[in-house]
């Protein structure tokens, strides 16, 4: 085993840096992409569902039924846009997506209520969009439960048998942005790392400069580290930029320790960049390397990391797979540090995973490189 | 301009051979779409199920256990850990091991029996605002219902009230998969079309074979066809593959006409191919093309309604989505698959996607001709 030589490592890093600088458009894109994603995800995406278009079929036409309809409007979650004679009239409107839900109050509603019988009302939902429908349903449940309680109590004071005291931690106003921005850092890093490095070795093969590189008296670890260094700097800069923009524009709090965030980011980036180089060496064409990089890094980071889709809702097989998705741990770290002010004590599992990922990434990159030269 | 079928045929053969020569390439062209389909279909659900819940039960009575049973029996919550120390609950939420914490104070059963209003604390990790909204609703409702049931059994609760019966159309069980799978088809098609064409020209330029192509008697139109037809063919093959898997494996009902689906897909694939060609002609290196492609791909996905509904976006972004071919395509596939509607109900979307594709194609052809003039 050769000893690591700082001079040689530095020379490789400089060569890679010069090559990068000669391609200013790619460099500009490496900084533009995070900003674009931040703006898109931060501004465009909210699940704060309000003013759902509601159709009303009121067969009762009493004060009580009107009061229930008013309760739906007053909640702010629903807006009655259509008053229909028959539930059947809703068919076309739901088909074309002009209504999200229809509330049907049957005749005898007020009579049943007054007699102390259970009075049923029906809510028809456009279930095609399951997510919106689920949220709409839970809003409607809450509105009806509240109305129902008021009617039953008729102004009497009654102690509920059990009172749930719900508290929301870390993000009390339930803002989507606070969830999106820290998670986005992990997704952006995965993409940037894959894009920057997945082509670096494949490019040398396609252009025919691989033999030259192999013939230079540079140890392969020096070569890998040298190739990684410039990209690592770009990645770290991107994270810093995303963090500052996220805090300034979207008001996302950074409650934890910045140094720990930087350390975790460096480890994650090293692993992701190493993985990119490994992919690049496996597929000698840039087209293939690019496709493989998308499949191996971008998709898992987006889908299997808990960025948007909660891991507990997945089938058991996929839940098992998420344990080897590095972005899963990194998102745990970013969200933990940003929102929960968590430190190493709470996040040590994640920290150790980052170290393992960085080591494996570097090892894969180095080993794959030797194979190529020997071939 | 005349097109020589002989030259075009040769060009097509060369391109297809280049694409499929490598077994790794074949695997990626057909394997990657399947992988995406399975990943998205199984993982991308927003159903709140089996939420990891940490329990601190100070009461240790039959009543407190019944409450916990009521919560877990719903399937929405799963007890992932329990302890007697509230500090453990904090740690579980901090580290993300649990998303919900339930603390039942001592004296819960006593208060419940005495009708004094027993208290239960439900703590929800708000980091994932989407899940938290739904989970807190479920928890609050179930705790209340439990209380009312206990009171009703004791005969102390007033009867009556309103009962809400919900029924969801098109997708009665509200499974996200039914909504997602048809949309994933849309993502796969545009990604394939983009990937296969975005590097088509720039690769020849980077390797230096473009000059060779230019000196052959091939015309720009033949060249453009030779570069696009293979991509369209492969994307169509992927469409058949992915749709078949969606219907047979995922049981997604295809309620509308397959012909309407094919028509929309063809127009849509051309939109992707056109943008890909455009990227390929303006980029100088493959890396640059890759990044520009991504710069286009991300907004296309985010502003399409695939994962995030268009109707909750700020108005400015809703206007932008009108220029996104994927947004229109998703409305069409979802309509065809879930609601069984066809071209007659969706003509606006068909018109819109054709317009966007026409625009992209003319831009691509114009730029391509300039490159080879």
CB contact under 8 A, A95 and B164: no
Structure confidence by residue, pLDDT tens digits, B277-328: 889 888 888 878 888 888 898 899 989 888 777 877 888 888 999 999 999 9
Q: Which of B136, B169, B308 sits opposite A45 (nearest CB)?
A: B308
Note whether B30 and B64 are same-domain residues. Answer: no
Q: Which of B146, B148, B169 sits opposite A124 (nearest CB)?
A: B169
What does the alpha-carbon distance between residue A193 and residue A153 come to, in Å, rounded to a whole number? Answer: 61
The secondary structure of A193-252 as a DSSP string is HHHHHTTHHHHHHHHT-HHHHHHSS--HHHHHHHHHHHHHHHHHHHHHHHHHHHHHHH--
Note whether B210 and B335 are same-domain residues. Answer: yes
In this predicted complex, what is the ipTM? 0.75
Residue B71, Cα to own-chain centre: how many angstroms?
30
Chain B residues within an 8 Å CB radius of A128: 169-171, 178-179, 334, 338-339
Note whether B140 and B220 are same-domain residues. Answer: no
Note whether A40 and A56 are same-domain residues. Answer: no
Which of B162, B311, B320 is the best mutation test for A, with the most CBs of A within 10 A? B162
Domain that includes residue A271, residue range? 6-45+171-374
pLDDT for res A3: 65
Residue A181's SS3 state is helix
pLDDT for res A158: 58
Q: CB–CB of B315/A51 below 8 Å?
A: no
pLDDT for res B373: 62
pLDDT of B369 over the 90 cut: no
Chain A residues within an 8 Å CB radius of B166: 122-125, 137, 140-141
pLDDT for res B160: 61
CB contact under 8 A, B339 and A128: yes
Note whether B57 and B37 are same-domain residues. Answer: no
Note whether A221 and A347 are same-domain residues. Answer: yes
Which of A128, A159, A334 is the best mutation test for B, with the most CBs of B within 10 A? A128
Which of B291, B301, B327 is the best mutation test for A, with the most CBs of A within 10 A? B291
Q: Which of A129, A147, A178 sits opposite B162 (nearest CB)?
A: A147
User: Closest approach of chain B CAs to the CA of A344, in angstroms?
Assistant: 10
Note whether A31 and A57 are same-domain residues. Answer: no
In a domain, A160, yes or no: no
Three-class DSSP labels, B200-247 = HHHHHHHHCCHHHHHHCCCCHHHHHHHHHHHHHHHHHHHHHHHHHHHH
CB contact under 8 A, B147 and A116: no
Contacts of B45 (CB under 8 A, 6+ apart): A309, A313, A314, B175, B176, B177, B180
Task: State which of A153, A182, A214 marks the end of a domain.
Answer: A153
In a domain, A147, yes or no: yes
Chain B residues within an 8 Å CB radius of A47: 129-130, 133, 308-309, 312
CB contact under 8 A, B163 and A118: yes
User: Closest approach of chain A CAs to the CA of B26, in angstroms?
Assistant: 10
Query: How far is the CA of A101 from the CAs of A69, B48, B301, in angstroms?
Result: 13, 21, 27
Q: Which of B36, B160, B206 sits opposite A117 (nearest CB)?
A: B160
In a domain, A118, yes or no: yes
Q: Which of A29, A164, A332 sits opposite B96 (nearest CB)?
A: A332
Task: State which of B121, B154, B187 marks the end of a domain.
Answer: B154
pLDDT of B23 over the 80 cut: no
Task: State which of A153, A188, A221 marks the end of a domain.
Answer: A153
User: Closest approach of chain B CAs to the CA of A215, in angstroms?
Assistant: 22
Note whether B325 and B202 are same-domain residues. Answer: yes
Note whether B263 and B299 are same-domain residues. Answer: yes
In a domain, A11, yes or no: yes
Alpha helix positions (H), chain B? 5-20, 23-43, 62-73, 86-94, 108-114, 129-154, 176-198, 200-207, 210-215, 220-248, 258-282, 286-302, 315-321, 325-334, 347-372
What does the alpha-carbon distance between residue B6 and residue B21 come to, in Å, rounded to a whole number? Answer: 22
Note whether A352 and A296 are same-domain residues. Answer: yes
Residue B208 main-chain phi, psi, to 5 deg: 95, 10
In a domain, B166, yes or no: no
Which of A37, A43, A127 is the best mutation test for B, with the most CBs of B within 10 A? A127
What does the alpha-carbon distance between residue A172 and residue B98 come to, in Å, rounded to a whole number? Answer: 17
* DSSP H or E stretch at residue A45: none
Task: State which of A125, A153, A181 marks the end of a domain.
Answer: A153
The residue-averaged pLDDT of B179-204 equals: 86
Helices (H) and strands (E) in chain A — how many of each?
Answer: 16, 5
Chain B residues within an 8 Å CB radius of A106: none
CB contact under 8 A, A151 and B162: yes
pLDDT of B167 over the 90 cut: no
Domain that includes residue B70, residue range? 51-154
Note whether B249 and B340 are same-domain residues. Answer: yes
Q: Please give the interface size between A and B, counted as residue pairs whose CB atoms are below 8 Å apart.
A: 381
Instruction: Please state the domain count of chain B.
Output: 2
In a domain, A165, yes or no: no
The residue-averaged pLDDT of B91-117 equals: 85
Note whether A255 and A217 are same-domain residues. Answer: yes
pLDDT for res A42: 82
Contacts of A367 (CB under 8 A, 6+ apart): none
Note whether B34 and B62 are same-domain residues. Answer: no
Note whether B249 and B295 are same-domain residues. Answer: yes
Note whether A138 and A194 are same-domain residues. Answer: no
User: Count of CB atoms within 10 A of residue B370's CB?
Assistant: 10
Return the percent helix, strand and coil in chain A, to nearest 5. 70, 10, 25
What does the alpha-carbon distance between residue A347 and residue A341 come to, in Å, rounded to a whole number? Answer: 11
- List the single residue in B with minimal CA-CA distance to A322: B43
In a domain, A158, yes or no: no
pLDDT of B148 over the 80 cut: no
In a domain, B167, yes or no: no
CB contact under 8 A, A288 and B95: no
Q: Which of B120, B291, B303 sits opposite A33 (nearest CB)?
A: B291
Structure confidence by residue, pLDDT tens digits, B39-63: 888 887 767 778 889 999 999 998 8
Chain A residues within an 8 Å CB radius of B195: 287, 290-291
pLDDT for res B56: 93
In a domain, B160, yes or no: no
Note whether B229 and B94 are same-domain residues. Answer: no
In a domain, B169, yes or no: no
Instruction: Please state the domain count of chain A.
Output: 2
CB contact under 8 A, B146 and A124: no
Note whether A133 and A265 are same-domain residues. Answer: no
Residue with more model confidence, B203 or A3: B203
Note whether A15 and A104 are same-domain residues. Answer: no
Note whether A33 and A86 are same-domain residues. Answer: no
The DSSP call for residue B337 is I
Q: What is the CATH number of the domain that holds B94?
A: 3.40.1710.10
Note whether A205 and A289 are same-domain residues. Answer: yes
In a domain, B92, yes or no: yes
Note whether B57 and B22 are same-domain residues. Answer: no
CB contact under 8 A, B133 and A47: yes
What interhelical angle do B23-43 and B220-248 show, nearest 10? 40
Q: Which of A44, A161, A170 sits opposite B125 (nearest CB)?
A: A170
What does the alpha-carbon distance between residue A259 and residue B101 come to, in Å, rounded to a whole number? Answer: 29
In a domain, A330, yes or no: yes
pLDDT for res B244: 93
Measured over all CA atoms, what is the biggest interatomic distance in chain A, rounded to whole angstroms? Answer: 93
Q: What is the CATH number of the domain that holds A117?
A: 3.40.1710.10
Note whether A348 and A364 are same-domain residues. Answer: yes
In a domain, B162, yes or no: no
Which of B51, B80, B164, B319 is the best mutation test for A, with the most CBs of A within 10 A? B164
User: Per-residue pLDDT for chain A (375 aa), expressed as one digit of tens each?
Assistant: 456 778 888 888 888 888 778 878 778 878 888 888 888 888 877 766 778 889 999 999 898 889 999 999 988 889 998 888 888 887 777 777 778 889 999 998 888 888 878 888 888 888 777 777 888 888 888 888 888 877 777 656 555 666 667 777 777 777 778 888 888 888 888 888 877 787 777 777 777 777 777 777 777 788 888 888 888 998 899 999 999 998 998 888 888 888 989 999 999 999 998 888 888 888 777 777 877 887 788 888 888 888 888 787 788 888 888 888 888 889 888 888 888 877 777 788 888 888 998 899 888 888 887 645 554
Chain A residues within an 8 Å CB radius of B332: none
Pair type for strands A52-58 and A78-83: parallel
Chain B residues within an 8 Å CB radius of A291: 28, 32, 195
User: Count of CB atoms within 10 A of residue A273's CB?
Assistant: 30
Task: Note the pTM of the prediction, 2 decimals.
Answer: 0.79
Note whether A183 and A146 are same-domain residues. Answer: no
- List the single residue in A with minimal CA-CA distance to B30: A291
pLDDT for res B17: 81
What does the alpha-carbon distance between residue B241 and residue B239 come to, in Å, rounded to a whole number? Answer: 5
Note whether B227 and B306 are same-domain residues. Answer: yes
Can you read off the two tokens belonging to residue B294? 């991504």
In a domain, A1, yes or no: no
pLDDT of B158 over the 70 cut: no
């Amino acid at each position: 085993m050769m000893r690591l030589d700082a001079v040689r490592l530095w020379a490789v890093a400089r060569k890679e840096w010069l090559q990068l600088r000669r391609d200013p458009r790619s460099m500009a894109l490496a900084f533009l992409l995070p900003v674009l994603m931040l703006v898109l995800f931060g501004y465009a995406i909210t699940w704060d569902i309000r003013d759902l278009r509601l159709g009303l079929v009121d067969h009762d036409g009493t004060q009580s039924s009107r009061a229930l309809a008013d309760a739906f409007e007053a909640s702010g979650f629903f807006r009655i846009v259509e008053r229909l004679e028959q539930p059947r009239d809703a068919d076309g409107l739901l088909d074309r997506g002009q209504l999200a839900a229809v509330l049907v109050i049957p005749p005898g509603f007020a009579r049943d209520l007054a007699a102390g019988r259970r009075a049923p009302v029906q809510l028809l939902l456009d279930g095609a969009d399951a997510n919106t429908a689920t949220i709409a349903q839970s809003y409607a449940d809450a509105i009806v439960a509240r109305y129902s309680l008021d009617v039953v109590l008729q102004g009497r004071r009654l102690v509920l048998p059990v009172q749930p005291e719900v508290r929301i931690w870390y993000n009390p106003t339930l803002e989507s942005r606070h969830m999106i921005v820290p998670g986005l850092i992990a997704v952006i890093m995965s993409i940037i790392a894959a894009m920057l490095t997945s082509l670096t070795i494949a490019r040398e093969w396609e252009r025919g400069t691989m033999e030259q590189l192999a013939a230079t008296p540079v140890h392969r670890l020096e070569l890998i580290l040298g190739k990684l260094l410039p990209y690592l700097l770009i990645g770290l800069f991107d994270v810093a930029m995303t963090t500052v923009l996220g805090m300034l524009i979207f008001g996302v709090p950074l409650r934890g320790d910045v140094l720990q965030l930087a350390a975790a980011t460096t480890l994650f980036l090293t692993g992701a960049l190493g993985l990119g180089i490994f992919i690049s060496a496996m597929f000698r064409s840039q087209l293939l390397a690019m496709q493989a990089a998308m499949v191996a890094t971008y998709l898992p980071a987006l889908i299997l990391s808990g960025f948007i889709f909660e891991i507990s809702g997945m089938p058991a097989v996929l839940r098992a797979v998420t344990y080897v998705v590095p972005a899963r741990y990194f998102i745990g770290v970013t969200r933990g540090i940003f929102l929960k002010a968590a430190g190493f004590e709470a996040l040590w599992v994640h920290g150790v995973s980052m170290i393992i990922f960085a080591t494996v990434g570097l090892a894969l990159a180095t080993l794959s490189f030797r194979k190529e030269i020997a071939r | 301009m005349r097109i020589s079928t002989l030259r075009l045929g040769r060009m097509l053969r060369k391109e297809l051979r280049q694409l499929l020569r490598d077994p790794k390439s074949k695997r990626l062209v057909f394997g990657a779409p399947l992988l995406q389909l399975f990943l998205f279909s199984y993982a991308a659900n927003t159903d709140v199920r089996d939420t990891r819940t940490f329990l601190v039960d100070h009461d240790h009575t039959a009543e407190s256990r019944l409450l916990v049973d009521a919560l877990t029996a719903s399937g929405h919550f799963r007890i992932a850990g329990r302890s007697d120390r509230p500090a453990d609950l904090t740690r579980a939420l901090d580290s993300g091991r649990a998303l919900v914490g339930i603390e039942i104070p001592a004296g819960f059963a006593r208060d419940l029996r005495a009708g004094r209003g027993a208290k239960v604390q439900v703590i929800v990790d708000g980091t994932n605002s989407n899940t938290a909204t739904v989970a807190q609703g479920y928890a609050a409702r179930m705790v209340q219902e439990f209380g009312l049931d206990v009171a009703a059994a004791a005969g102390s609760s007033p009867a009556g009230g309103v009962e809400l019966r919900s029924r969801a159309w098109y997708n009665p069980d509200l499974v996200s998969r039914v909504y997602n799978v048809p949309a994933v088809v849309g993502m796969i098609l545009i990604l394939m079309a983009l990937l296969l064409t975005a590097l088509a020209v720039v690769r020849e330029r980077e390797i230096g074979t473009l000059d060779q192509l230019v000196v052959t008697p091939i015309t720009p139109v033949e060249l453009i066809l030779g570069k696009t037809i293979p991509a369209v063919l492969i994307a169509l093959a992927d469409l058949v593959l992915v749709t078949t898997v969606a219907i047979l494996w995922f049981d997604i009902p295809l309620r509308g006409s397959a012909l309407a689906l094919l028509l929309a897909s063809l127009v849509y694939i051309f939109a992707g191919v056109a943008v890909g060609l455009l990227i390929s002609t303006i980029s100088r290196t493959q890396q640059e093309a890759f990044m520009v492609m991504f710069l286009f791909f991300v907004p296309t996905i985010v502003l399409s309604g695939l994962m995030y509904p268009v109707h909750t976006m700020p108005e400015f972004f809703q206007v932008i989505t009108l220029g996104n071919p994927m947004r229109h395509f998703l409305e069409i596939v979802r309509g065809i698959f879930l609601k069984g509607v066809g071209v007659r109900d969706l003509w606006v979307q068909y018109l819109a996607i054709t317009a966007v594709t026409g625009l992209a194609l003319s831009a691509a052809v114009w730029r391509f001709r300039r490159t080879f003039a």
